[in-house]
Amino acid sequence: MERTILHVDLNNFFASVECKYRPELKGGFMAVCGSVEDRHGIVLAKNQKAKLMGVKTGMTIREAEKLCPGIVFVEAHHDRYEKWSKKVKKIYSEYTDRVESFGIDEAWMDVTESLSLFGSGKTIADKIRERVKKEFDLTVSVGVSFNKVFAKLGSDLKKPDATTVITRLNYKTLVWNLPVGELLFVGRSTVSKLNRIGINTIGDLAKADVQYLVKYLGKWGESLWIYANGKDESPVLKENESDGIKSVGNSITCYRDLTDEEDVKIMFSSLCDSVSDRVRKYHVGKASALSISIRDGNLTWYTRQAKLDRPSVLADDFLNKAMELFRLNFRWESSIRSLGVSVFDFITEEQISINTKSEEYDKKLRLQQTVGDLKQKYGNDIMRRGIAYKDKRLTKEGEGHGSSLPNSHGEPKI
C-alpha cells in the first residue's frame, strides 16, 4: 500500500503561544526574543503580521525594529511551548501511533493504517487543523505526501493554516521548480556548492547524474538525489523508537550573541549533555562521530565533523570533540548566533572490541547515569557543571529539544 505521511507544523508557534497569555498582542506586530532587557536578543519567532513586514528568525532586535516600527518584543518562555506542544501532539496521537517529533513545533505522522477509519490523508489533515484551531486557538500547516521529505515540503508551501497534498502525479509540478535550498537538510553551504555546478532547483538536482553528485558531495550527494526524486523511504518512528535512527542532535539560536570561547563552551556543554541523554534514552549504541554547526553574526553556516576518539555516549567525550572542532575551524571574524551538535555512526556493544572497553569509561558512564536519574527526579537545577553557572540562561536554552534523524547525517538549514 502507498504510504500516507503527514508533516504538521504549528504556525508561528512561540509567538502564537505568547499571545494566549497576552491577548492584547494578537492584533499587532510582535516577536519572541531571547533577551528583551539588554536589547541584544535574537528574534526566535514572530507573528504573521511581523513576518509580512520582513521580520525574520535570527534577526537582532534592532534589525527587526528598523523593518517594523512599533513591534512589541516578548521574552521566550520555553516551559509554555513545551506545555502546548504536548497538548497538540495528543491530538495527533488520536489518529496514529506513529508520530515522530521534529522539534517542539513540528511532527511527522504515518496515517497509512488509519485511512479506513478517518478518511484520506487530506481529510485527516483538515480535521487536525480544525481541531487544533478550535481546541487550542492555534493554527497548523500540514503537508500530505507519500514520503517524509515531500510531506515536509508540503507543510512549508502554504502558510498559515493550510493543507498541501503532494502526490506521485503532481510532485514534479509542485516540487521541482522550487529553489534547491527548499529541500529538507539542504543548508546554505550546500546550496552554494550546488549552484556552482548549475543546480539551482530541486528539479535540477533530481535530473543530475547521481554518480557525479557522489564524487562532488560524497555520500550526502546520493541522499539529496534520493530526496529530490521522491525516493525517500525512511519510516516515521514511534515515540522512543530507535530503529533507523542515524543521528541525534540538538541546536539552539542563543538569546544573545556568543562573543568568546567561554560562551561557546557553556553552550556546547549544555547541548552535549542533552544529546548524551537522548543517545542513552534511544538505546542506539555508541556514537563514533560528531559534527558541530555554527551560524555567525553574518548568518553564515559552518558545519564540521570528525571521528570521536572512541565510540561513546558520554557528554564529556562529545564536549571535548566539539570544542576541538570549534578551535580548529572558527576564527572569530564575527560573533556567533547559533550552535548545534549532532552525533552519528552508531555502533552496538557487540561491534565494539572487548579490548577497547575501559573501566574508566564504565565508571564515568555510571556517574552520568546517576546524575541523569537525579535530574529526572528533581529537575535539571539539582546538579550542573560549574561553567553552567556563569550564564544560567544559556545553559537552560541548550537543554531544549533536539532531533533524531532516520537518514544520513546532514547539515542544518536556516
| Mean pLDDT confidence for 343-354 | 66
How are beta strands 106-110 and 140-145 bridged, if at all?
unpaired
> Do the domain assignments include residue 69?
yes
Asked whether the predicted pLDDT for residue 413 surpasses 60, the reply is: no
Looking at per-residue confidence, does 41 or 286 come out higher? 286
Average pLDDT, the chain: 84
- Please indicate, yes or no, whether residues 48 and 189 belong to a single structural domain of this protein: no
- CATH assignment at residue 26: 3.40.1170.60
Q: Indicate the pLDDT class of residue 73, thresholds 50, 70 and 90.
A: very high
- Please indicate, yes or no, whether residues 337 and 383 belong to a single structural domain of this protein: yes
Q: Indicate the pLDDT class of residue 281, thresholds 50, 70 and 90.
A: confident
Asked whether the predicted pLDDT for residue 392 surpasses 70, the reply is: no
Which residue, 159, 194, 228, sits at the end of a domain?
A: 228
> Do the domain assignments include residue 143?
yes
> Do the domain assignments include residue 238?
no
Q: Indicate the pLDDT class of residue 44, thresholds 50, 70 and 90.
A: confident
Asked whether the predicted pLDDT for residue 402 surpasses 60, the reply is: no
> Do the domain assignments include residue 302?
yes
pLDDT at 386: 59
Q: pLDDT tens, 184-226?
A: 878 777 898 999 999 999 999 999 999 999 999 888 889 899 9
Looking at per-residue confidence, does 143 or 361 come out higher? 143
Asked whether the predicted pLDDT for residue 408 surpasses 80, the reply is: no
pLDDT at 185: 77
> Do the domain assignments include residue 63?
yes
Q: pLDDT tens, 119-141?
A: 999 999 999 999 999 999 999 99
Asked whether the predicted pLDDT for residue 35 surpasses 90, the reply is: no
Alpha carbons 89 and 107: distance in angstroms, whole number:
8
Q: What is the pTM of this model?
A: 0.64
Distance in Å from the first CA to the final CA of the chain: 35
pLDDT at 371: 60
- Please indicate, yes or no, whether residues 111 and 188 belong to a single structural domain of this protein: no
pLDDT at 78: 83
Q: pLDDT tens, 135-179?
A: 999 999 999 999 999 999 999 999 899 999 999 999 999 999 999
- CATH assignment at residue 99: 3.30.70.270
Q: For cell 509567538, what's the residue?
A: 15
Name the residue range of residue 289's domain.
247-405
Q: Indicate the pLDDT class of residue 411, thresholds 50, 70 and 90.
A: very low
- Please indicate, yes or no, whether residues 206 and 317 belong to a single structural domain of this protein: no
- Please indicate, yes or no, whether residues 274 and 349 belong to a single structural domain of this protein: yes
pLDDT at 300: 78
Beta bridge mates, 7: 108, 143
- Measured CA to CA in angstroms, residue 407 lies from 56, 84, 142, 403, 412 at distances of 29, 28, 22, 12, 14
- Please indicate, yes or no, whether residues 355 and 262 belong to a single structural domain of this protein: yes
Q: Which amino acid is at 27?
A: G
pLDDT at 220: 81
Contact, 70 vs 28, CB < 8 A? yes
Q: What are phi and psi of 346, to 5 degrees?
A: -75, 145
- CATH assignment at residue 304: 3.30.1490.100
- Please indicate, yes or no, whether residues 167 and 224 belong to a single structural domain of this protein: no
Asked whether the predicted pLDDT for residue 13 surpasses 50, the reply is: yes
pLDDT at 244: 58
Which residue, 172, 193, 212, sits at the end of a domain?
A: 172
| Mean pLDDT confidence for 263-267 | 92
> Do the domain assignments include residue 235?
no
| Mean pLDDT confidence for 254-258 | 82
pLDDT at 207: 97
Count of structural domains within the chain: 4
- Please indicate, yes or no, whether residues 261 and 382 belong to a single structural domain of this protein: yes
Q: pLDDT tens, 313-348?
A: 999 999 999 999 999 888 898 899 889 999 988 886
- Measured CA to CA in angstroms, residue 343 lies from 81, 113, 146, 288, 312 at distances of 26, 32, 28, 8, 10
Q: pLDDT tens, 47-66?
A: 999 999 999 887 888 889 99
Q: How many CB atoms lie within 10 A of CB 170?
A: 11
- Please indicate, yes or no, whether residues 204 and 100 belong to a single structural domain of this protein: no
- Please indicate, yes or no, whether residues 252 and 285 belong to a single structural domain of this protein: yes
> Do the domain assignments include residue 50?
yes
Looking at per-residue confidence, does 84 or 240 come out higher? 84
pLDDT at 388: 52
> Do the domain assignments include residue 239?
no
| Mean pLDDT confidence for 82-90 | 94
Q: Which of 251, 335, 345 has the alpha carbon at shortest distance from 292?
A: 251
| Catalytic residue positions, numbered | 106
Q: What is the dihedral of CA 316, 317, 321, 327, to 10 degrees?
A: 30
- Please indicate, yes or no, whether residues 167 and 214 belong to a single structural domain of this protein: no
- Please indicate, yes or no, whether residues 22 and 119 belong to a single structural domain of this protein: no
Contact, 74 vs 36, CB < 8 A? yes
- CATH assignment at residue 182: 1.10.150.20
Which residue, 38, 57, 78, sits at the end of a domain?
A: 78
User: Residue 220 has which C-alpha cell?
Assistant: 550526502
